[in-house]
Structure 1
Amino acid sequence: MSYADSIDIAERRRLDALANYRIAGSGPENRFDRICRFASELFSTRMAFVTLIEEDRQWFKACSGLDIEETHRSETFCDHTIRTDDVLVVSDARLDARFSGLPIVSGEPFIRFYAGAPLISPDGFRLGALCIADTHVRESFSERERRTLAGLAAMVMEHMELRREGIPQATAANFADATDLSLITVDPTGRVEFVNQAALDMFGFSREEMVGGSLDLIVPERFRAAHNAGLARVAAGGSSMLKGKTVEISACRKDGSEFPVEMALSIWHDQRGVGVGAIIKDISERRDRDVRLLRLASQDTLTGLCNRPRFEDLLREELARKRPLAVLLFDLDGFKDVNDRLGHGIGDSLLQAIGVRLPAVLDRNVTVSRFGGDEFAILIPGTGDPLVAQKTANAVIEAFKIPFEVAGHTFRIGASVGFSLAPNHGSDSEELIASADFALYRAKQAGGRVVRMFEQSMRNETLAKRMLRDELLRALNKNELVLHYQPQVTLDTGEVFGVEALIRWQHPERGLLSPAAFLPALEQSSLALDVGFWVLDEAGRQMAAWDAAGYPPIKMGINLFPAQVRAGDLARSVVDLIARYALDPRFLEIEITETVTLNDDDQSLESIQALRELGVGIAFDDFGTGYASLGSLQRYPLTTLKIDMGFVRDLLTKPRDAAITRALIALSRELGLKTIAEGIETEEQETALRLMGCEAGQGYRYGKAMPADEVARLFVQPVERQRIRI
């Protein structure tokens, strides 16, 4: 048997099945007309029709908005609809080659949009279709709408089954009990005429309780007046705003509990007057899911607190009400150490504990949010009183004075808080958060665990720093940054053994600027890495230039920014530098500060150790001026200890400074480190340091930091102390 023969047999069986229903050519029947009207109203289309596909023709059993009885089968949409079990959707028939030439597309009624669901018999034969159509293009037809149309097509098929079996139309309504769609129809007075089993199950009533009863049974009391007024308006010939729409409303079960439903309403007119029908779907699960999704979208997933986008939305809403408010920002002092030492898992558990404690100690009207990392925010609505904001900030700080017990660990961490007030410190959310951030920065500068309120000077200072950073970027790109070199001498002989490379800025308007004018802003910006590696490269280039000129090698001291050490690729950068300029690593000395050692992380230590293994010297700059412990001297592979000029300056007049200097020199000697005293200006200071056992020094007594071309004289003879201008 050929494929064509098998198709012919299948089509013959389909036509036989259709003939068994004895429906083709029959007169109008209200049951089918009502479904068409209902579908047209439900989907807001101009046309709806039930068609049956015979051998050569399409016959219209029922129509709404379309006055036609039959067409040739080749001139139909529905001939394509019955080829699959799926709903056929055509958004714009003019753009579909299958349908653009149909008379009902190119001529009256000028169909553009079409959707059809096949009428599938219990034996699986596709006999025709329930269709909706419109003269306007419809870009989308949702999956829910497809399912609803298919459900209505199944209802048409049930009608056809009942009709074939000869069941009286008065009892045919029972067909609806076969669908899981909840169906209700009411008369103009609001009395329930029909309800299917799915609706009875949904609302919890028996059929006897609902049919003939008022629709008020399922309408929450607070909505009944408006609902009855709408029904009365429709009964009097008016329109309903819900007609043809799918809306979400509240419904009421027999036990009085309310639940959300989705309702599609249809209104029709027949010989009895106005009829109203509704397809109702319980959307409790979907609403719960939406609530969960909304919660996920507005909550920080780790702590359960409000997240930043939601916080900003709430802030904008409060500002739109023209109400005063306060915004607090705070972060945690010591949290980074927890993550570095114990890992992010413990850190996350600590953040969760904070998320539980904070709301418990604050007023219920405030909103607590986690912005990310260890940064949090609080919104206090309805008050711009700085005392209220200060009180809340103090409560935060007090909350952190109680240790946190997490995973067998006890944590004592603090918080720094900055706050801003509306309308005094900003008129929009971005400005208020930025103002609070300025204040937080000032609190951190003050040592942490304190509260600061925003002041305009903070913004001015920050903007000035930002402008300075912008200028520094330009300076780097335009080669305005230069290195000067300060000699380092052996105190016993005055021989120059090295120089320290010090950055300067040749500003086009302000002249030569020392590091004090720009270094603080530079260290706090992302430019620190770029400038730091430029310094490294420029110093290496200069070493190679002196070597090429035939000068004897001297040690080059190069200062690092903390960001260079933290970046993790410092050792590779120095290896590349040595290779690029053919340098002897023994004459390179990298200077680190206490800021680097305070981080006390393995990555920084590994970077420094890798440099030392290359043969590069490691100098500890300004030791004793900050918080670095003696343990740093043990952990880091140092070669040189530099005594800060603050001790040297008053060495001869303050016994304490002399004692500290003497102790540092002795400590350095015991550890096998070279000692360099900075800031030597007088012969008396030099003599005292030499007698204490200090090996080397630098300072104005031996020369200020100078350009590279002035360093040449240092190579030919020891420093002539009597000629140095102090």
Structure 2
Amino acid sequence: MHDPVARARSRGNKRRGHSSAGREPDVVGFAENTELALMCIDAAGVITYVNAASERMFGHERAEMLGHTLDLIIPPRLRGAHHAGVARVGEGAPSKLAGRSIEVMALRADGTEFPIEVSLSAWKGNTGTMMGAVVRDISERRQRDSRLHRLAHHDPLTGLPNRFQFNLRLEEILSAGEQAAVLLIDLDGFKKVNDSLGHATGDTLLQALAVRLPAALEADAMFARFGGDEFAVLMPGIGDPLKASAAARTVLGAFGPAFSIGDHLLKLGASIGVAIGPMHGDDPEELVASADLALYQAKHGGNSFRLFEASMRSAVAARHAIRDELLRAVSDGELVLHYQPQVNMESGSILGAEALLRWNHPTRGLLLPGKFLEALESHSLALQVGCWIIDEACKQASAWRALGLPALRMSVNLFAAQVNAGNLAEVVEETLKRYSLPPEALELEVTETVMLHNDDHVLRPFERLRERRVRIAFDDFGTGHASLSMLKRFPLTTIKIDRGFVRDLLADRYDAAIVQALLGLARAMGLDAVAEGVETKEQEAVLLALGCKIGQGYLYARALPAEEFTRLFGRLRTEETAAVSDVKAKLSETPSQKSRR
């Protein structure tokens, strides 16, 4: 007799009536008559026992369930997370969910989903690790609960505590004079999942996270969703930075295995900011703000964590001050463009200009981008300023043409906000039309940040502009994480070789080799190459010998205001015209004139 229920029932038939001292209680009677569903599985996740309530709850006959895996009652989108948990416990790892009640979604035989509350346990049986669950259908309870209370305390998508509930618990801990660690988690790559696979897949991924991550934490840790792809962990009693850092590493480790969402295997990373109370804040608002400052720093590295430091607060205060000043700067017209020439190194003629942003600060003087660009890029003004730069640069290019100067190509750097806005192609086309410029007069410079997000919605406007002959350059190529395969997919016309490689071109053979390789790559792909940071004639000579024709740097000119650039352009043009005239005059001399000369 292999059915444990049948064996237990047989024993029960021999012992009718109430149990007494020394007699085994009627466990089967309890199991078969309770309204709670009772289930057992082995280390492989195969169901070995169910009671009558399980049949009623899930709509399957007992014979259908026994010998089948848990997939029978788990929605397909959540099976990956459950498989991982069962496998971990089956291999002997302790279950961090033991003794805790969790709420998850289950699947009935008719295909409908419903919420259940599950209490888990694990033990060593005769055949190895066994796991058991007490399951309660909480459909009615959820319907009975006040919706307003639910919305006030829990995230409706994942069922996790929300920010309000998180702060209430944190307030209780800090008010009692106890220590606590706060971890703020921001997902790396979640936006790409939403954009490429749709929000339904993104929502399911968040639900899978709500199952996986709490299982990696200690039993008393509170895992909450603050909104979007931001989560938080509250760990009571943690005041040691080393323990808080270890918890952050554990959370990062939970992102190692891919998430199985339907037919997709999705890899995500995370950035984590860590703060400890009351060391880094003695009230919820200050402590969470400290963790947020640490999170901001962690995002620069990606898939990493940072512990709060006091210096972060002063740095953010300075950044906020700059952002406030930028609002005034934009309204008062303090932002200006300077133009640095791009030169044909063989002839010395100017081929183009790069429009570079400057800030005429009323008290600090002319500020270079290093003093304010980071604050501007994260400001809501970035889109407005980016569109202004395109307009101002095109207006200046049109003005130079109206003066009769040779046609230049104008290079403009893009902000990520302009790319993400979705209307870049329309803005560029309307601006070119407004100033009667041909498309090839404008070159848009993109950075690695844009290249790394080269999915369809990012590529589409660039492909449209390239079809209309607008030029597209990759700035600072070779300095970061962008792969060579991106060059094949992105519709480029130009590679800009970073000044870091040019600076040590004569002294470092590796830099020379990199420049040579980049130039060879550009030639093979039919792309122009511009060397940035050319400062000496020796660098220019080596670049020319390697086959680079276009240079940009202090050897030719710093970035100049429009008026100075116009004078430089006119002077170089006059000198070039004079040199050509001199050559023509010499070629037309008679023999007698040459002999007198």
TM-score by length of 1: 0.58
Other-structure match for 2:446? 592
Other-structure match for 1:630? 484
SS class of match (1:394)? helix
Equivalent residue in structure 2 for 1:408, among 254, 263, 267: 263
Amino acid at match of 2:345: L
Other-structure match for 1:604? 458
Q: Give the whole-Å Cα distance in 1 for the aligned partners of 2:303 and 2:412.
A: 35
Equivalent residue in structure 1 for 2:227, among 372, 383, 394: 372
Equivalences for residues 21-32 of structure 1 within 5 A: none
- Structure 1, 524-533 or 332-341: larger mean CA deviation: 332-341
Amino acid at match of 1:339: N
Other-structure match for 1:432? 287
2:454–2:490 CA contact under 8 A, matched in 1:
no
After superposition, the Cα gap between the structure-2 partners of 1:485 and 1:296, relative to the gap in structure 1 and judged at 3 Å, is closer
Q: Give the whole-Å Cα distance in 2 for the aligned partners of 1:672 and 1:679.
A: 23
Amino acid at match of 2:381: L
1:495–1:719 CA contact under 8 A, matched in 2:
no
2:183–2:233 CA contact under 8 A, matched in 1:
yes
Q: For each residue in 1:232-255, what CA deviation from the matched residue of structure 2 results, as whole angstroms up to 9, or x when unmatched?
A: xxxxxxxxxxxxxxxxxxxxxxxx
Equivalenced residues, count: 436
Q: Does 1:693 align with 2:550?
A: no
Q: Give the whole-Å Cα distance in 1 for the aligned partners of 2:518 and 2:192.
A: 29
1:397–1:415 CA contact under 8 A, matched in 2:
yes
After superposition, the Cα gap between the structure-2 partners of 1:467 and 1:347, relative to the gap in structure 1 and judged at 3 Å, is same
2:340–2:559 CA contact under 8 A, matched in 1:
yes
After superposition, the Cα gap between the structure-2 partners of 1:488 and 1:333, relative to the gap in structure 1 and judged at 3 Å, is same
Other-structure match for 1:308? 163
Q: Give the whole-Å Cα distance in 1 for the aligned partners of 2:345 and 2:222.
A: 64
Equivalent residue in structure 2 for 1:492, among 335, 346, 355: 346
Amino acid at match of 2:496: K
Q: For each residue in 1:17-44, what CA deviation from the matched residue of structure 2 results, as whole angstroms up to 9, or x when unmatched?
A: xxxxxxxxxxxxxxxxxxxxxxxxxxxx
Other-structure match for 1:658? 512
Amino acid at match of 1:580: R
Cα deviation for residue 436 of structure 1 reads 0.6
Equivalences for residues 194-593 of structure 1 within 5 A: 289-290=144-145, 294-445=149-300, 447-593=301-447
After superposition, the Cα gap between the structure-2 partners of 1:645 and 1:719, relative to the gap in structure 1 and judged at 3 Å, is farther
Other-structure match for 2:530? 676
Bigger Cα Rg: 1
SS class of match (1:717)? helix
After superposition, the Cα gap between the structure-2 partners of 1:292 and 1:512, relative to the gap in structure 1 and judged at 3 Å, is closer
Cα deviation for residue 715 of structure 1 reads 3.3
- Structure 1, 654-663 or 604-613: larger mean CA deviation: 604-613
Amino acid at match of 1:574: V
1:493–1:718 CA contact under 8 A, matched in 2:
no
Q: For each residue in 1:211-266, what CA deviation from the matched residue of structure 2 results, as whole angstroms up to 9, or x when unmatched?
A: xxxxxxxxxxxxxxxxxxxxxxxxxxxxxxxxxxxxxxxxxxxxxxxxxxxxxxxx
Q: For each residue in 1:297-346, what CA deviation from the matched residue of structure 2 results, as whole angstroms up to 9, or x when unmatched?
A: 42222222112222122223333333322221112223333333322222
Q: For each residue in 1:495-546, what CA deviation from the matched residue of structure 2 results, as whole angstroms up to 9, or x when unmatched?
A: 1111111111111111111111111221222221111111111111212222
After superposition, the Cα gap between the structure-2 partners of 1:287 and 1:526, relative to the gap in structure 1 and judged at 3 Å, is closer
Q: For each residue in 1:620-639, what CA deviation from the matched residue of structure 2 results, as whole angstroms up to 9, or x when unmatched?
A: 11111111122222112211
Other-structure match for 2:499? 645
- Structure 1, 577-586 or 290-299: larger mean CA deviation: 290-299
SS class of match (2:572)? coil
Pick 1 or 2: higher relative contact order, CA cutoff 8 A, min separation 6: 2
After superposition, the Cα gap between the structure-2 partners of 1:655 and 1:506, relative to the gap in structure 1 and judged at 3 Å, is same
After superposition, the Cα gap between the structure-2 partners of 1:323 and 1:291, relative to the gap in structure 1 and judged at 3 Å, is farther
SS class of match (2:338)? strand
Q: Give the whole-Å Cα distance in 2 for the aligned partners of 1:466 and 1:589.
A: 32
1:483–1:501 CA contact under 8 A, matched in 2:
yes
Q: Give the whole-Å Cα distance in 1 for the aligned partners of 2:510 and 2:492.
A: 26
TM-score by length of 2: 0.70
Q: Give the whole-Å Cα distance in 2 for the aligned partners of 1:689 and 1:542.
A: 30
Cα deviation for residue 465 of structure 1 reads 0.8
After superposition, the Cα gap between the structure-2 partners of 1:302 and 1:584, relative to the gap in structure 1 and judged at 3 Å, is same
Amino acid at match of 1:380: M
Q: Give the whole-Å Cα distance in 2 for the aligned partners of 1:376 and 1:333.
A: 12
2:335–2:359 CA contact under 8 A, matched in 1:
yes
After superposition, the Cα gap between the structure-2 partners of 1:381 and 1:367, relative to the gap in structure 1 and judged at 3 Å, is same
Q: Give the whole-Å Cα distance in 2 for the aligned partners of 1:509 and 1:297.
A: 48
1:498–1:556 CA contact under 8 A, matched in 2:
yes
Cα deviation for residue 718 of structure 1 reads 5.1
Q: Give the whole-Å Cα distance in 1 for the aligned partners of 2:255 and 2:467.
A: 43
SS class of match (2:306)? strand
Q: Give the whole-Å Cα distance in 2 for the aligned partners of 1:325 and 1:337.
A: 33
Aligned-pair identity in percent equals 56
Q: Give the whole-Å Cα distance in 1 for the aligned partners of 2:353 and 2:270.
A: 43
Cα deviation for residue 293 of structure 1 reads 5.6
Amino acid at match of 1:649: R
Other-structure match for 1:280? none
After superposition, the Cα gap between the structure-2 partners of 1:460 and 1:660, relative to the gap in structure 1 and judged at 3 Å, is same
